[in-house]
Amino acid sequence: MSVAVTDQDGLVFSHSIGWAQLRRRPIDEDTLFELGSIGKTFTAAIALPLADEGALDLEAPVTTYLPWFDVRSPYEPIALEHLLMHTSGLIRGADMTADSRFDVWALRETETGFAPGEQFYYSNVGYRTLGYVLEAAAGAPYRELLRIRVLEPLGLEHTEPEVTVGIRDRMAVGYDRLHDDRTPEPDDPLFPAPWLETGTADGSLASTAGDLAAFARFLLNGGAEQLLSGPLVESGDGWSYGYGLESKTEDGRRLIRHGGSMPGFASTMLGDLESGYAVAVLMNGPDEHDATELVAQFALDLHRGGEPEPPGDPEPYEPDSPPAEPLEEYAAFYGRYRSYNPWLPGFRIEPRESGLVAACSWGDDKPLARLSEAEFRFGAEEWSPERLRFDAIVDGQALRASLSGETYYRSDFADPS
Q: pLDDT-derived band of residue 181, with 50, 70 and 90 as boundaries? A: confident
CA angle 132, 71, 240 (to 5 degrees): 70
pLDDT recorded at residue 201: 96
What are the extents of the domains in the chain?
Answer: 33-304, 328-410
Q: Please tell me which residue, 271 or 415, carries the higher pLDDT value.
A: 271
39-52 and 124-138 are packed helices; what angle lies between their axes, rounded to 10 degrees? 40
Return d(Cα 388, Cα 405) in angstroms, integer. 9
Q: Say which CATH topology domain 328-410 has.
A: Lipocalin (2.40.128)
Q: pLDDT-derived band of residue 2, with 50, 70 and 90 as boundaries? A: confident
Q: DSSP string of 376-405?
A: EEESSSTT---EEEEEEEETTEEEEEEETT
Res. 199: pLDDT tops 70: yes
Res. 26: pLDDT tops 90: no
Res. 286: pLDDT tops 70: yes
CA atoms within 13 A on the CB side of 163: 26
Res. 413: pLDDT tops 80: no
Tell me the pTM: 0.93
Tell me: domain 33-304, CATH 3.40.710.10, correct? yes
Tell me the average pLDDT across 328-356.
91
> Are the beta carbons of 78 and 115 closer than 8 angstroms?
no
Report which of 2, 48, 102 is spatially closest to residue 242, judged by C-alpha positions.
48
Q: pLDDT-derived band of residue 210, with 50, 70 and 90 as boundaries? A: very high
Tell me the residue type at 416. P
Tell me the average pLDDT across 35-61.
97
Return d(Cα 416, Cα 338) in angstroms, integer. 14
* Domain 33-304 shares a fold with domain 328-410: no
Tell me the average pLDDT across 323-333.
93
Res. 224: pLDDT tops 90: yes
Least confident interval from 20-29, 72-81, 221-230: 20-29
Rg, Å, the chain Cα set: 23
Tell me the average pLDDT across 118-128.
97
Tell me the average pLDDT across 311-334.
81
Encode pLDDT of 73-104 as tens digits: 999 999 999 999 999 999 999 777 778 899 99
State percent of the chain over pLDDT 70.
96
Q: Helix or strand or coil: residue 37?
A: helix
pLDDT recorded at residue 84: 98
